Amino acid sequence: MPELPEVETIRKQLHSKLIGKQWQGRKIVNIRRRAKLLLIDFSDKSSLVFHLKLTGQLLFNGVPGKYTRAVFNFDDGSNLVFNDARKFGWSKHIQNSQAIEKPFGIDALEITLTELKAVFVKKKRTKIKTVLMDQKQLAGIGNIYSDEILFSAKVRPDRLAGTINSQETSKILASVKAILKKAIERRGSSIEYYLDALGQKGDFVSLHRIYHKKQCGKCGGRVERLKINGRTAHYCPKCQQ
């Protein structure tokens, strides 16, 4: 957290606010997202890169506070405030962003069925929730959306990727695209610290059906939890058999 929908929400908002502004004599020409990274590109080919990790916030015209780690002031008097309560996030000004972008796999919004099948074959002995969260394979999905995606596709999170058949793969892909797009429309999920670039909470959390739920959003049954590769997976034993 924040995951792809949250970072993409911030990217879209900052794109409308920052293009054309100058920071330390450099003109902003683009705002991009790569997986969970946010990149502000300048006319001199350098970039400001942010990884918000667990508790990072990027607030346009924000007011610095207790958790502020950096403030970026622009030529017109506006600013961008980077907050991070737990200090896991980071920001870097680098000349060439290719090296920092290279380790990430195919963006979850762009992956095709053929590509997803290839990922499942490659990681056939790995549990499916872990595969969906592997940023080197499928970039952008984290703990929240992997739970929601697998619930929507009716697949248990502890299934090995190699046991996922063609029909199930198609369902997972459809769920990836539908849930991430809907989450972007609703400006992400505000759990604890996440705010969008305008300081507002995202309301996709109101549409969560399994993540951190006690009762299944479909059948009303008890939601079970599993520890998978150090992360907590939420699932419904009845709906995800």
**What is the CA angle 45-109-72, rounded to 5?**
35
Q: For residue 111, which phi and psi values (nearest 5 degrees)? A: -65, 140
Pairing of strands 68-73, 56-60: unpaired
Q: What angle do CA 199, 70, 200 make, to 5 degrees?
A: 5
Contact 227, 157 (CB under 8 A): no
71 beta partners: 81
Catalytic positions: 2-3, 36, 231
Tokens of 92: 């870097």
Distance CA 33, CA 41 (A): 11
Cα separation, 216 vs 234, whole angstroms: 10
Burial class (CB in 10 A: 0-12, 13-18, 19+), 103: exposed
